[in-house]
């Protein structure tokens, strides 16, 4: 396996110490990793790609969410990872010993593994790609539109500010949990979602704070809300749950052609959490002393020792674009093509998800490793065609597709069929 190359600008790998690139990808969580892989698959020269992240450790997916049980089958993860390894092997002559994948390879294909098991191969893929493209450990402070493209200012571990120019920038800086607004005097009651979603993290928290977690208000009807309720009840903590809509469960159905599809694939409960929640709803009297369901908004905070917000994700705001906070500039992005109002800047990942139409007709956010990968096969066409400044280098490589990049929302079944 190639040695990992995450270097400062003074010793960038490859042909030159250039500060000008065709593509800059910001972030090394699942979306950032797969975005770079999609560029390599398309044939973008590796020395024209700049990849920037403070750590290259898989983002939140590989850290605070590592102990969270997933809802994606092992076989679907493997299908994506195998495709990426083929790309790296055939196009860039790198390979990886399969024995390094003992954790995920030891699991059955239909098993919904923990995020830790899914993150391990992603970290190894990151290491390989970092040895292939120009990778910089640092934080992007700003992106500004200039005549030659997009100017990025990156601060490295020594506190130096280094400028780069890219014709296209893909922002994949991740997401964080939304939270229910709490009065300042009650703000200490907020229990971080990553604690509630992991039985291990929850046990550790309770051990460090004995007797503190007595009555928790859980807000939301998502898979995360159901998982938090399950962990808290199993830890013998009293829970009152507030929901504005009923739970949905991911269900396998057959379409008009007899093909099996998953309804509510992005919003429905799956696996162990779905089974446990159905039992909870069926036997509410059995859990009456521990769990109460309220259809409505969170009420008097004085009743609860803690509050868990499981109401979705929001983009992490880590940089400025044209001197404005990125979330304000990127908020109105195109949820089909990943384009933004700033030419040459594209967004993706959990913070800026693509949207798809469920079989029920409802619009859902398409988030996850196995969702990002097929989405990016389409998005890369837009990324190539729409730089911030004119360029001939990619055109001369005949990388432009004649296909249209703007398309109607795609049914999730077709996206899954691409895996």
Contact 328, 319 (CB under 8 A): no
Q: pLDDT tens-digit profile of 298-323? A: 988 999 999 999 999 999 988 999 99
In a domain, 3, yes or no: no
Q: What is the largest CA-CA distance in the chain?
A: 69
Question: If you average pLDDT over every residue of the chain, what do you get?
Answer: 85
pTM for this predicted structure: 0.86
* Closest C-alpha among 80, 36, 85, 33 to residue 56: 33
Q: What is the reported pLDDT for 101?
A: 58
For residue 211, is it left (φ>0), alpha (ψ between -120 and 50) or beta?
left
Question: Exposed, middle or buried, 212 (CB in 10 Å: 0-12/13-18/19+)?
Answer: exposed
Please tell me whether residues 70 and 117 are part of one structural domain: yes
Which residue's entry shows tokens 């990992």?
4
Please tell me whether residues 190 and 280 are part of one structural domain: yes
For residue 340, is it left (φ>0), alpha (ψ between -120 and 50) or beta?
beta
Cα–Cα distance between 403 and 395 in angstroms, integer? 15
Residues 6+ apart with CB under 8 A from 395: none
Per-residue pLDDT of the chain (419 residues; tens, 9 = 90+): 333 344 443 334 443 456 899 999 999 999 999 999 999 999 999 999 999 999 999 988 878 888 888 888 899 999 999 999 999 988 888 766 654 556 777 888 888 888 888 999 999 999 999 999 999 999 999 999 999 999 999 998 889 999 999 999 999 999 999 999 999 888 999 999 999 999 999 999 999 999 999 999 999 999 999 999 999 999 999 999 999 999 999 888 877 777 777 888 888 888 889 999 999 999 999 999 999 999 999 988 999 999 999 999 999 988 999 999 988 888 889 999 999 999 999 999 999 999 988 877 788 899 999 999 999 999 999 999 999 876 544 443 333 333 333 333 344 334 334 43
Q: What is the reported pLDDT for 216?
A: 97
User: What CATH number did the domain enclosing 183 receive?
Assistant: 3.50.50
Which helix (H) or strand (E) segment holds residue 393: the answer is helix 393-396
Q: What is the reported pLDDT for 12?
A: 41
Q: Domain tally for the chain?
A: 2
Q: pLDDT tens-digit profile of 27-80? A: 999 999 999 999 999 999 999 999 999 999 998 887 888 888 888 889 999 999
**Beta bridge mates, 239:** 216, 291
Please tell me whether residues 47 and 134 are part of one structural domain: yes
Question: Exposed, middle or buried, 136 (CB in 10 Å: 0-12/13-18/19+)?
Answer: buried
Q: How far is CA 102 from the centre of its chain?
A: 24
Q: Alpha carbon of 126 to those of 61, 170, 256: distances in Å?
A: 13, 17, 41
Q: What is the reported pLDDT for 180?
A: 92
* Closest C-alpha among 299, 61, 18 to residue 172: 61
Cα torsion through 368, 369, 375, 377, rounded to 10 = 170
Please tell me whether residues 46 and 160 are part of one structural domain: yes
Please tell me whether residues 237 and 296 are part of one structural domain: yes
Please tell me whether residues 319 and 299 are part of one structural domain: no
Q: How far is CA 62 from the centre of its chain?
A: 11
* Closest C-alpha among 172, 176, 200 to residue 190: 176
Please tell me whether residues 28 and 168 are part of one structural domain: yes
In a domain, 2, yes or no: no
Please tell me whether residues 121 and 220 are part of one structural domain: no
User: What CATH number did the domain enclosing 84 receive?
Assistant: 3.50.50.60
Segments forming the whole domain that contains residue 215: 179-309
In a domain, 245, yes or no: yes
* Closest C-alpha among 115, 315, 265, 281 to residue 198: 115
SS (H, E, C) 236-291: CCEEEEEECCCCCECEEEECCCCCEEEECCCCCECHHHHHHHHHHHHCCCCCCCCE
Angle at 213 between CA 239 and CA 246, to 5 degrees: 20
> Domain ends where: 270, 290, 309?
309
* Closest C-alpha among 217, 208, 209 to residue 179: 217
Please tell me whether residues 223 and 146 are part of one structural domain: no
Q: What is the reported pLDDT for 68?
A: 84
In a domain, 4, yes or no: no
Which residue's entry shows tokens 């109002």?
341
> Domain ends where: 275, 294, 309?
309
The tokens for 307 are 């509050």
> Domain ends where: 246, 280, 309?
309
Contact 137, 126 (CB under 8 A): no
In a domain, 171, yes or no: yes
Q: Alpha carbon of 330 to those of 120, 140, 150, 312: distances in Å?
A: 31, 16, 15, 18
């Amino acid at each position: 396996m190639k040695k990992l190359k995450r270097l400062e600008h003074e010793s960038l790998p490859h042909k030159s110490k250039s500060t000008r690139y065709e593509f800059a990808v910001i972030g090394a969580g699942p979306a950032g990793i797969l975005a770079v892989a999609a560029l390599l698959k398309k044939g973008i020269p590796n020395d024209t790609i700049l990849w920037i992240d403070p750590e290259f450790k898989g983002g939140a997916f590989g850290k605070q969410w590592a102990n969270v049980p997933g809802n994606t089958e092992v076989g679907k993860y493997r299908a994506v990872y195998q495709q990426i390894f083929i790309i790296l092997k055939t196009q860039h002559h790198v390979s990886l010993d399969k024995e390094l994948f003992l954790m995920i390879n030891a699991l059955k294909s239909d098993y919904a593994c923990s995020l830790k098991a899914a993150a391990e191969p992603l970290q190894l893929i990151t290491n390989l790609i970092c040895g292939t493209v120009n990778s910089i450990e640092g934080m992007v402070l700003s992106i500004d539109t200039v005549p030659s493209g997009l100017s990025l200012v990156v601060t490295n571990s020594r506190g130096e500010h280094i400028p780069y120019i890219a014709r296209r920038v893909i922002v994949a800086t991740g997401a964080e949990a939304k939270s229910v607004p709490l009065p300042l005097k009650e703000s200490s009651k907020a229990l971080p979602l990553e604690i509630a979603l992991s039985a291990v993290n929850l046990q550790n928290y309770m051990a460090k704070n004995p007797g503190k977690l007595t009555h928790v208000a859980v807000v939301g009807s998502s898979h995360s809300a159901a998982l938090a309720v399950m962990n808290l009840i199993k830890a013998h903590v009293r829970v009152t749950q507030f929901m504005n809509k009923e739970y949905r469960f991911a269900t396998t159905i057959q379409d008009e052609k007899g093909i099996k599809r998953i309804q509510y694939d992005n919003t429905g409960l799956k696996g162990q959490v779905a089974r446990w929640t159905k039992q909870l709803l069926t036997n509410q009297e059995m859990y009456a002393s521990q769990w109460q369901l309220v259809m409505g908004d969170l009420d008097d905070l004085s009743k609860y020792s803690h509050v868990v917000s499981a109401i979705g994700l929001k983009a992490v705001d880590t940089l400025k674009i044209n001197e404005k906070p990125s979330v304000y500039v990127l908020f109105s992005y195109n949820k089909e093509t990943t384009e933004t109002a700033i030419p040459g800047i594209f967004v993706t990942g959990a913070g800026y998800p693509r949207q798809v139409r469920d079989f029920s007709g409802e619009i859902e956010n398409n988030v996850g490793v196995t969702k990002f990968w097929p989405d990016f096969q389409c998005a890369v066409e837009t990324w190539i065609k729409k730089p911030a400044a004119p360029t001939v280098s990619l055109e001369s490589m005949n990388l432009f597709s004649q296909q249209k990049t703007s398309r109607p929302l795609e049914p999730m079944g077709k996206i899954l069929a691409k895996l």
